[in-house]
Amino acid sequence: MTAESEKQRQAGQGTKYLCFSLGREEFAIPLLVVKEVIAVPEITPVPFSPPYFLGIMNLRGQVISVLDLRLKLAIKPSQSSETAIIICDLGSMSLGVVVDSINRVEAPGADAISNTPEIQNNPNAESITGVFKSARSLVLLLDICKALSVEDLTALNRNTSTSPKVA
């Protein structure tokens, strides 16, 4: 089964996506990856991290790395009272992702999801897995894991594994 047919099969089964804004663009990630959505808390910076790694935060005793997805994808952020953090479950770790706003949850049908658009000379292009049209705009489906580089994953593991649980 190809990745494309797997995506369509999942969409046909009513896969739900959390839609959010980064700058003027709208993105979505599978709702199954989302643990929760929170307001932006106090974040402790980690020295020698890339600019898009904001640092670490304490979420009910668990240390979670926080990444500004806007900076990672080179999208101009728009600070507002709607800025939020999506806590994503990436299997062996959790990651906080800063977004401009949370918009809604959608479950597009299999026929609504189109193939990945052809994007030339963009290192983040492979993190876009498809696109669908909502009532308001085109929504890009984002694979958080593909948006992270090997260096990012190494830094995430280092930040969360060396940090003790905080009470």
Q: Average per-residue pLDDT in the chain?
A: 80
Residue 157 has which token pair?
A: 């593991």
Q: What span, in angstroms and rounded, lies between the C-alpha atoms of 18 and 108?
A: 11
CA angle in degrees (0–180, nearest 5) for 11-141-147: 130
What residue ranges of the chain have pLDDT lower than 50? 1-12, 162-167
Contact 144, 90 (CB under 8 A): yes
Q: What span, in angstroms and rounded, lies between the C-alpha atoms of 113 and 130?
A: 6
What percent of the chain is predicted at pLDDT more than 90? 41
Look up residue 93 and give its amino acid: M
The pLDDT value recorded for residue 37 is 96
Closest CA to 113 of 137, 147, 143, 139: 139
The pLDDT value recorded for residue 147 is 81
Question: Three-class SS string for 21-39?
Answer: EECCEEEEEEHHHEEEEEE
Q: Which CATH architecture does the domain made up of 3-159 adopt?
A: Beta Barrel (2.40)
Phi (first) and psi of residue 88, to 5 degrees: -105, 140
